[in-house]
Amino acid sequence: VLEKGYEMGDILEMAASLESSSNHPIAKAVVQYANDKNIHLKATSDVKEIPGVGITGVVNGRMVDISRGKINGGSTVSITIDNILVGYFSVTYKIRISAKPAIEALKRMGIKTSMITGDSNEEAKRIAIELGIDDIHAEILPADKSEIIKNYQKNRRFCSIYWRWYKRYRCPGNRRRWNSNGFRY
């Protein structure tokens, strides 16, 4: 909480109410956290989301803006209410137990690993070091991620894409299929 007159519960209520309109993993985490704290969500209107940038809308008659940022070296989400920065959430990720063995198996096969993420450089480096990922591209907007993949393919690098939320994305004109783990083949 950065602004006097605001309590954490009030900010969380506004943020979670707005984030409930988004499918982004961080938005879902904010909503889940609010639910865990028994915070009731308010109705929203005029919601606009820009992938990789943030979401704005009206919550309880007040303009709320939630956008990505960098504070204290991690990935953060800043919250403004009526154009006043009132607080932020810092985001870190818990790595799945199966991730490190999967990366190690790829390395044993001679496959170089890369991570393309919208998260901060610091958070991406932390994850890459913990998992042993060779190459990272951090703070990348969704629209730019496909360009990195195209460059890999252009340079004849083997590309297999994994992401947790693969069911929400479509690849128009791409006849390749996704297996249950999110890998394209």
Q: 99-168: what CATH class?
A: alpha beta
- Positive or negative, the CA dihedral 28, 29, 35, 41 is negative
| Average pLDDT over every residue of 108-137 | 88
137's CB contacts (< 8 A; 6+ apart) are 114, 115, 116, 117, 124, 145, 148
* Residue 36 structure tokens: 């865990």
8-91 placed in CATH 3.20.20.140? no
Helix axes 8-19, 25-36, angle to 10 degrees: 130
Q: What is the pLDDT of residues 69-90, one digit of tens each?
A: 655 555 678 899 999 999 888 7
Q: What is the percent of the chain where pLDDT is above 90?
A: 32
- Cα radius of gyration (the chain): 19
Cα separation of 48 and 53, whole Å?
11
Tens digits of residue pLDDT in 153-172: 777 666 665 554 333 333 33
CA distance 171 to 92: 29
pLDDT of amino acid 181: 43
Digit-coded pLDDT (tens) for 10-59 = 999 999 999 999 988 888 888 999 999 999 999 999 999 988 788 999 99
Average pLDDT over residues 60-76: 77
**Average confidence (pLDDT) over 126-134:** 91
- 1 falls in which pLDDT band (50, 70, 90)? low
Q: Residue 177: pLDDT above 50?
A: no
Domain assignments of the chain as residue spans, ordered by start? 8-91, 99-168
